[in-house]
């Protein structure tokens, strides 16, 4: 069994982003700018936004966080996004999800300029991904593909099972795998007999948010396991969706939690933000 080390790869990607950011600044005078909208006081969201801020600082980005109260109005968020769409110093806009129930999340995400949609959640970018065209791809599944590439794991022709069908992880993960010529199956909360499906997986991608959902008897020998889940136990320990202690004895590759997919998500956010800045700079010329 070999660990797929996302922490190590994310550090490598950060170095490349830092170098390219310096080149961009030297040649154009431009500094990539990332704006984040954070609504409410969810500790997990706040911690994640703080990690993004620190990552931006490390690679030389300009970053700003718009912290808003839980009872903020739809109009106030929309006005902020419209302002950021027009701001030439902001190249990437990120809306930290989930938003409070009274906010229409779809309308908020659709308002973000697709060229600044570094999270890849705008329907324009979702459509381009599903049709195999260039665009912005959600950072977590994109990070997974980079991790597979780093370890020269080719999904072409392989049976890939994705557990979890969210718009943020499961669906774009399946689209990326399909675009890479894998045979893809998506399982979700209504899937009957999950084990029957997971046992067929050469590569298993799990992002359901359920501790120990995948057990040793649910995976085939030498399968490749990508644990995208991140959960906190009652004792405060961070764990994934896979029973790592037992499944790791059976598989050929596996991502640890923490230290696997998590760091790759932030690395891809930096990559997408730099890409946005580069594209917008070319368009302004």
State pLDDT tens for residues 128-177.
Answer: 999 999 999 999 999 999 999 999 999 999 999 999 999 999 999 999 99
- Cα(175)–Cα(197) distance, integer angstroms: 18
Spatial CA neighbour of 227 closest among 119, 143, 136 = 143
Phi, psi of 95 (to 5 degrees): -105, 115
Average of pLDDT values for 226-248? 93
Catalytic annotation present for 192: no
* Predicted local distance difference test score (pLDDT) of residue 281: 85
pLDDT tens readout for residues 71-108: 999 999 999 999 999 999 999 999 999 999 999 999 99
pLDDT at 285 over 80: no
Catalytically annotated residue among 5, 113, 117, 119: 119
Catalytic annotation present for 227: no
Domain 28-113 shares a fold with domain 139-262: yes
- Cα(176)–Cα(19) distance, integer angstroms: 27
- The domain segmentation of the chain, as residue ranges, is 28-113, 139-262
- Cα(95)–Cα(72) distance, integer angstroms: 14
Query: Out of 3.30.200.20, 3.40.50.720, 3.40.50.1000, 1.20.1440.230, which CATH number does the structure's domain 139-262 have?
Result: 3.40.50.720
Angle at 123 between CA 32 and CA 125, to 5 degrees: 45
Q: Is the pTM of this model over 0.75?
A: yes
Q: What is the CA radius of gyration of the chain?
A: 19
pLDDT at 190 over 90: yes
Catalytically annotated residue among 96, 117, 171, 202: 96
* Predicted local distance difference test score (pLDDT) of residue 284: 64
* Predicted local distance difference test score (pLDDT) of residue 43: 83
Catalytic annotation present for 52: yes
Token pair, residue 249, equals 């004895």
pLDDT mean across residues, the chain:
95
Q: Domain 28-113 is of which CATH architecture? A: 3-Layer(aba) Sandwich (3.40)
């Amino acid at each position: 069994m070999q660990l797929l080390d996302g922490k190590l790869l994310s550090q490598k990607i950060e170095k490349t982003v830092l170098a390219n950011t310096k080149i961009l600044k030297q040649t154009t005078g431009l500094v990539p700018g990332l704006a984040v909208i954070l609504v409410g006081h969810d500790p997990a969201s706040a911690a994640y936004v703080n990690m993004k801020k620190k990552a931006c600082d490390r690679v030389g980005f300009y970053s700003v966080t718009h912290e808003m109260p839980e009872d903020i109005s739809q109009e106030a968020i929309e006005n902020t996004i419209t302002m950021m769409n027009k701001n030439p110093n902001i190249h990437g806009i990120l809306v930290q999800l989930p938003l409070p129930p009274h906010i229409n999340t779809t309308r908020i995400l659709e308002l973000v300029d697709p060229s600044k949609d570094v999270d890849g959640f705008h329907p324009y970018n979702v459509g381009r991904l599903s049709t195999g065209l260039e665009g912005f791809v959600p950072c977590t599944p994109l990070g997974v593909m980079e991790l597979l590439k780093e370890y020269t794991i080719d999904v072409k022709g392989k049976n890939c099972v994705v557990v979890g069908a969210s718009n943020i992880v499961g669906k774009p993960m399946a689209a990326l795998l399909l675009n890479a010529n894998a045979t893809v199956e998506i399982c979700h909360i209504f899937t009957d007999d999950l084990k029957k499906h997971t046992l067929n997986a050469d590569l298993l991608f799990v992002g359901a948010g359920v501790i120990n959902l995948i057990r040793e008897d649910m995976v085939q020998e030498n399968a490749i396991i990508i644990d995208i889940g991140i959960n906190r136990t009652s004792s405060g320990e961070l764990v994934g969706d896979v029973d790592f202690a037992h499944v790791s004895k059976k598989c050929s590759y596996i991502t640890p939690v923490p230290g696997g997919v998590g760091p790759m998500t932030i690395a891809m956010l930096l990559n997408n933000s730099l890409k946005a800045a580069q594209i917008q700079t070319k368009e302004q010329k």
